[in-house]
């Protein structure tokens, strides 16, 4: 783990890869044990955080143009109102990063005693979304 000046410990960090798999971008990804942070920008920096326990599903995207340089993208689907779909674009070693994210998601769900079925359908015992009961 790497500790930074902002006091967070990162399990993984990488930049979005552009031309020939080089990290020539102002998009940076950080993974802590409980959230994924995306920081975009140079002069004005926008930061988006996604709590890992809210992630419901993920998909690995490996187009030929990225595979040639050992890169790929991960698409995360979450129960977050702000960011229902987050794409971690063109990163090195996408399979290992995907496995690391899965391990962190499971750790957070165990910590809060949450499983995927707990996040579907709203409040337990309440009305089911889409029905007019």
The residue ranking higher by pLDDT, 120 or 6, is 6
pLDDT tens digits for range 94-112: 999 999 999 999 999 999 8
Q: pTM score, two decimals?
A: 0.81
% of the chain with per-residue pLDDT over 70: 82
SS3 sequence, 4-61? Answer: CCCCCEECEEEECCCHHHCCCCCEEEEECCCEEEEEECCCCCEEEEEEHHHEEEEEEE
* Whether the predicted pLDDT of 118 surpasses 60: no
């Amino acid at each position: 783990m790497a500790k930074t000046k902002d006091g967070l410990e990162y399990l993984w960090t990488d930049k979005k890869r552009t031309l020939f798999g080089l990290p020539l971008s102002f998009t940076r990804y950080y993974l802590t044990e409980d959230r994924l942070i995306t920081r975009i920008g140079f002069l004005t920096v926008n930061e988006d955080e996604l709590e890992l326990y809210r992630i419901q599903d993920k998909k690995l995207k490996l187009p030929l143009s990225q595979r040639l340089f050992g890169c790929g993208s991960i698409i995360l689907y979450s129960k977050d109102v702000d960011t229902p779909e987050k794409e971690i674009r063109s990163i090195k070693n996408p399979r290992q990063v995907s496995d690391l994210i899965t391990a962190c998601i499971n750790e957070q769900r165990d910590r809060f005693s949450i499983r995927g079925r707990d996040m579907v359908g709203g409040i337990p015992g309440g009305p089911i979304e889409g029905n007019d009961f």
